[in-house]
Each structure stands twice: as structure tokens, then as C-alpha cells.
Amino acid sequence: MVEKAASASTKRARATHSTASHARDAAEALLLKGNAVDAVVAGVAAAAAVEPSVLLGPVQLLFGGGGAGIQAVSGRVLQGGKGQDRPRGFREGERVPDAARVGAPALPAALAAAVATCGQSSLSQIFGPAIELAKGSARKDVLAHIARVGARAMSEGKLGEELFHAANRVAGGVLSRTDLEDVSVTVERLGAVPVADGRRLVTVPWGSGAVLPESEEDGLDARNVRAVIAVDRNGLFALAIFEEHLDVLRIDELGLSAPLVATPVKRGETRVKPGTAIDAAFPAGLVERDGVFELGLVVVSAHDGERGARELLRAACNGEIPGPPLHGRMLGITQVGDVARALDAYP
């Protein structure tokens, strides 16, 4: 079944869509006074205000058009252990504590980088709706801190301090203060790949490649993937992919949960290099034709999300309006002339 988004999300030459109403509302509020990048960052922040596992997990952003070129920001979680000797590692069959699977979050730094690169509003303005949503929880102070200090949030104040104590060597993990002080965020300027009928496709350069049309790979499981998409009056498309996790380490002092996505050190096995970005699904892309972006698309909550996104993007590049994915849910925004519209499709 294909279902159109509510009329409140459809406006002349601008539109927003998200997997959650609070994220969509925050994005819509920012789109009235900022641009599409401001909007998707506000949506991710709103999701982090409501869902405890978002803030310490990965985020990936892609934006293009409207005179801004094409750029991508990687805020994937980083493998911990910088500045420390290799631990002995866990033996086969030995219980691995949750702390050993916690990495260094780059989400706050990535959101700040996206705004600094292409945003129009201040970080404090963008985080306003999220801070309001988080009232009554410890996450309110965390979000307010990020709004004040931006990329330094993990190295200054309570956020990094509590995360360090929850996942350091004493707790059974490998997270170091250096990991939190030296978060590396990748910002890349991209080109589009020619595909069909004068159309070109854009996706992130660090993904598995499964969302590119010529790939035959299955790609990564995207059941944890959530998203927010926007297009503004100038034709700037932006999408942000973040994740919600059930397998987490709770940090009650922050009102947050750290996703267990890092690789523990195993005895007799090569250690994953500290600072390595941990793979995260990116079942999404932007479609451009004759220098104008006409579609942003993402598949969420699907075990074959990257494969499903590839098939839908193939259809879009042939001029078809994408239909329901085989699994999961498709979110999209189209722009034709001066009209922008949100799309939503389920199997």
C-alpha cells in the first residue's frame, strides 16, 4: 500500500518527512526559518530527546542542491581504545561485559559539522524543539549542553564524563578520555553517479556500496535505521539517518542508552584499530536530473534495507515513482517544479 503523508507535511516548494511525528514536527518548525540541513538536524535532535539510544549511536547526513553542492557527513560510532595498550582480550566462551561493546559517539560532532557546513540557523535555535521535548528527563541538560558547545560536547562536561565511567577499563570496556576528546567526523564533498535517462544518483562514499545501482551486494541490516528528510524553498535536499537500538548499556545519570555496536577485543584475534568508524547501514540516496534534485529516498526498519533501497532507487532513476519496498518502510520527498511532496510506502 502507498500512503500519502498528511497535508501538514506538504507545502509549496518545501516538505519534511520522518519516521516519528516529533522529529517531523521539529524539522518542520526549523524549515520555516532555516534550510533543509537545519531541519534534518532538528529532527535528529528531537528523536534523541525522546528515544534514549539515539544520541550515543550513529548518524549519517547527505545533502545536495540549492547551490550548496553535494556533501555528506559521517557521524558513525568509533571503535574505542585510543592511547591505551591493547588489552589481553576475552577468551572464547568468556562472558563479554556490555561496556566492552560501547564505542565513542560522533553524533553531536556530526550534527554540529553539518550545521557549520551548510546550515543557516544557530545550533541553539535548531536544538530548541528537542530541549523542550526532553523536559522532565536528564536528556534535557545533555541536549542543552550540546546546543551550547557543539562538537566539544563529548570532551567537556557531564556527557563525556559519565560515558567514560560507564565504558572505561575499570567497567570492562576500552573507552578512553582520548577517544572522547578526539572524535573524528568525516565531511566529504561528493559527485553524482550517472545512471539512466539523464539522471544521476548520490549516496554516501563510505557505505557498503549496496545502494548503488551496479552493486549486487545485499548490504547491511537496516532494522535499526530511522530517518528524517527535508527539501527547502531553494531546492536543497537533506536527509539524516540515525538508529534506535534495544541492545544497549543504560546510563541512568544521563537518561541515555549506549548501543552495543563496538567489537570487543578477543584473545588471539587482531584488534579493530581504535578510531575506526563502525559500519552502519545507509539505505538511502538522492536523485538528480539536469542539475536539479528531484527525489530523496530512504528505506527504514528492514533487514534488507540497503538492497531494498537499491531497487527503489533503480526505479526512481528510470523515472518511476518508487512503490513499497519488499520489507520495511520507504520515506521519500519529491520535488517537481515549485511543488514538493512527501511520500510514504509500506509493503
Grid coordinates given for 307: 538492497
Domain count, the chain: 1
- Mean of per-residue pLDDT scores for the chain: 93
C-alpha cell at 169: 577499563
pLDDT at 17: 96
Q: Is the pLDDT of residue 12 over 50?
A: no
Q: How confident is the model at residue 68 (pLDDT cuts 50, 70, 90)?
A: confident
pTM score, whole prediction: 0.95
Q: What is residue 263's predicted lDDT score, i.e. its pLDDT?
A: 97
pLDDT in tens, 109-167: 999 999 999 999 999 999 999 999 999 999 999 999 999 999 999 999 999 999 999 99
Residue 328's Cβ-count burial label (10 Å; 0-12, 13-18, 19+) is buried
Alpha helices, DSSP H only, in the chain?
Answer: 21-31, 36-50, 107-118, 123-133, 139-149, 158-167, 177-181, 305-317
Q: What is the pLDDT of residue 218?
A: 86
pLDDT at residue 11 greater than cutoff 80: no
pLDDT at 9: 43
Lowest mean pLDDT among 5-9, 250-254, 336-340: 5-9
- Sign of the CA dihedral with 264 first, then 49, 342, and 330 last: positive
Q: How confident is the model at residue 181 (pLDDT cuts 50, 70, 90)?
A: very high
What does residue 293 show for φ and ψ, rounded to 5 degrees? Answer: -80, 135
pLDDT tens-digit series, residues 193-208: 999 888 999 999 998 8
Coil vs helix vs strand at 77: coil
CB–CB of 339/29 below 8 Å? no
Distance CA 27, CA 260 (A): 28
Q: Give the residue numbers spanning the domain of 220.
A: 2-345
